[in-house]
Structure 1
Amino acid sequence: MKAAVWHGVKDIRVEDVELRALREDEVKVKVAWAGICGSDLHEYQEGPVFIPVDQKADLTKEIAPLTMGHEFAGVIEEVGSMVTNYKVGDRVVINPTLTYRKKHEDLDRYDGFNFIGLHGDGGFATYANVPESNVHRLADNLTLQDGALVEPMAVAVQAVKDAGVTLGDSVAVFGAGPIGLLTVIAAKASGASKVIVLDLSDDRLEKAKELGATHIINSGKEDPVQAVRAIVPDGVDVSFEVAGVAPTFKQAIDVTKARGNMMIISIFARPIEWNPIHLTNTGVNVLSSIVYTPTMFQRTIDAMSTGQLNPQGIITSQIKLDEIVEKGFEALTNDKNQSKILVELSGVK
């Protein structure tokens, strides 16, 4: 079968690979659509960040080169002998997080933490074998394209919950990439009254406005801290760092009110220099959120099904698997008009 395989920095190859044998607790999914994530882009541009290269990953027992892709949905084509909750023909979306599953689920997401598509073979392929425990049934009124958006939407939903956004809150989002845009959607759905988005790209800022941002600020054209404080003089209730660079990390703290929360969602591929006295002087709480619980993943599907969450607006391109480097990773690297690019596998909707 065809698959997009990571071999190294700027070295992703679409090649023929053999799907490993299906295990008794797994389902074989014929992939319909898969999204390119910011984490995938980090691996392409400057990896390895998560991808195991020196030794096998703890939970998957796999090592590079491996098939990428962790935002995907498809149709079950085969079930293992121990699978009880799913059958051939079921439309499903994959929760790609793998943990030891020994703790309360809110803590479990920090226990082990391997990722289908980063620590082991994923969904940029014709087929993917995944554990039954990582499969969620897709609501009947959602398309398989919608299914490819569940995973990144769940990241934003979990982060907004963890940050404590409530009715009437003011929010600042630093970074209008896909997760930043989805954070706008999740914050609005949670009742935020002011959602201020900051980015260097006017095109991305306009997209943020389309998706619900009440204010947009180009950080390259005006001082971001002064601009936010002009809107909310005492500082926002919650800020989200979704850019993953030192300047926005510090600015997100500076725009947040005393005892407010600054939430880190972004992946910092490299260390930054920062003095914690910044917090001592401002009284801001710095929080972080990684992925989501299985419950929050399911709630994201449910909220998309009822129309409470509508992430479809972040899709900017649909491409074929053979085009994934040039029209996928390179386009996301060079074209700031791009947000979420979906890769067509079977193309079933």
Structure 2
Amino acid sequence: MKAARWHDQRDVRIEDVPECAPKPGEVKLKVHYCGICGTDLHEYLEGPMFIAKEPHPLTGYGAPVIIGHEFAGEIIALGEGVTGWSVGDRVALEGYHICHECYYCQRHEYNRCERLAFHGFSAPGGLAETVCAPAYQLYPLDPRVSWEAAPLVEPTAVAVRAVNHVKPLLGERALVVGAGPIGLAALQVLRAAGINRIAVVEPARKRREMALEFGATIALDPRRDDVEREIRNFTNQLGADIAFECGGNDAAYQTAVRNTRKGARICLVSQTNTPFRLFVNEIGFNERVLIGTVAYCGEFAPAIQLIAEGKVRAGDMITARISLDHLVDVGYRELMENTDQHVKIIASPWM
């Protein structure tokens, strides 16, 4: 079958590899589309970050790695012992392989599993024609969610967890720094949670326009706008009550800190190799709270529901559809060189 495999930094190849056969407790899926994530670009340009160079202790899987973790699929085969699922079922995958034994798994905090493995990094991913996965990862995909929108379930689940961590209160003003797919999903999840006054800071014009379309009150360009003055005016000179750093760089973090009020909650959503400068007094003296978050732990169900109900407009976030053959020369290149024109690019092995 055709698959995209990460071999090393700046070395992703479209190759013919053997198809998997589902082991006991697994299903085999036909992948229709898989999204290109910002983390995929980090792995391509700077990796390995999460990719297992050596065989992972839980999965035994290491480079070269079939990449891709934003995907859904149609069940085409069942492994021994799988019940509750049928061939033809449409499913989304919460892409963790977990040990089920450690302190965190026992507490159902499995996104903190001590031997956590993840599709596209330390287990085969979805940038392929088919993939095998444990049945415990599966969520039924609402029929109102199209195959094209289905890859957006994963980033929406990230946003749901981030928003839930912050515990927004009605009437609060929010700041979202970085309006890529995660930031735009966070904006829409905030709106669904009843937060209606939201400022977005994003340099890419297309993403600012989309933020306004999705309900942002203001969308600022940090290269041209006086962000601090505009946020002060937006927040009665106080600063935002809650903020989400979704940019993955120090400038985004500093923007989040400097434009929040005393006592604000700031969620660090991005995953990056880039170090941030932390000035302790900006946090401690002002009693700001920094909140870390990673991926999801049960948020797939509400993410699917939000997309199905149109509260997260997943399909509208897609700016290009490409064949798997053009993952690097079109998909990666466009996201690196023409960010101003793109939000989410999805790839299909069947185009």
Instruction: State TM-score, norm by structure 2.
Output: 0.94
- Match runs of 1:3-152 below 5 Å: 3-53=3-53, 55-101=54-100, 102-105=105-108, 107-112=109-114, 113-152=116-155
- Match runs of 1:155-170 below 5 Å: 155-170=158-173
Percent same amino acid at aligned positions? 33
Q: Match of 2:181?
A: 178
Q: Match of 1:279?
A: 283
Residues 1:211 and 2:214 are matched in the alignment: yes
Indicate if the aligned counterparts of 1:91 and 1:144 stay in contact, CA closer than 8 A. Answer: no
* Per-residue deviation, 1:227: 2.2
Residues 1:197 and 2:200 are matched in the alignment: yes
* Per-residue deviation, 1:115: 1.0
Amino acid at match of 1:34: C
* Per-residue deviation, 1:19: 2.5
- Match runs of 1:263-278 below 5 Å: 263-278=267-282
Indicate if the aligned counterparts of 1:169 and 1:237 stay in contact, CA closer than 8 A. Answer: yes
Kindly provide the CA deviation profile for residues 49-91 of structure 1, in whole angstroms up to 9, marking residues without a partner as x. 10011x3223222111110011111211100011002111111
Amino acid at match of 1:108: Y
Kindly provide the CA deviation profile for residues 231-255 of structure 1, in whole angstroms up to 9, marking residues without a partner as x. 1111111001011111221221111
Distance 2:167 2:286 in 1: 19
Q: Match of 2:316?
A: 313
SS at match of 2:15: strand
Amino acid at match of 1:175: G
Kindly provide the CA deviation profile for residues 95-118 of structure 1, in whole angstroms up to 9, marking residues without a partner as x. 11233342333x321123321111
**Runs of at least 5 residues in structure 1 that lack an aligned partner in the other structure:** none
Kindly provide the CA deviation profile for residues 161-213 of structure 1, in whole angstroms up to 9, marking residues without a partner as x. 11112322211111111111111111111111211000122222112111211
Distance 2:98 2:217 in 1: 38
Q: Match of 1:250?
A: 254
Indicate if the aligned counterparts of 1:73 and 1:145 stay in contact, CA closer than 8 A. Answer: no
* Per-residue deviation, 1:22: 1.9
Indicate if the aligned counterparts of 1:185 and 1:311 stay in contact, CA closer than 8 A. Answer: no
SS at match of 2:285: helix
From 294, 297, 313, the counterpart of 1:293: 297
Distance 1:203 1:147 in 2: 22
Indicate if the aligned counterparts of 1:142 and 1:305 stay in contact, CA closer than 8 A. Answer: yes
Judged with a 3 Å threshold, the aligned counterparts in structure 2 of structure 1 residues 223 and 98 are, in CA distance, closer, same or farther, namely: farther
Amino acid at match of 1:63: G
Residues 1:323 and 2:322 are matched in the alignment: no
SS at match of 2:112: coil
- Match runs of 1:328-343 below 5 Å: 328-336=331-339, 337-343=341-347
* Per-residue deviation, 1:23: 0.6
Q: Report how many residues are paired.
A: 344
**What CA RMSD, in Å, does the superposition of the two structures yield over aligned residues?**
1.5
Instruction: State TM-score, norm by structure 1.
Output: 0.95
**Runs of at least 5 residues in structure 2 that lack an aligned partner in the other structure:** none
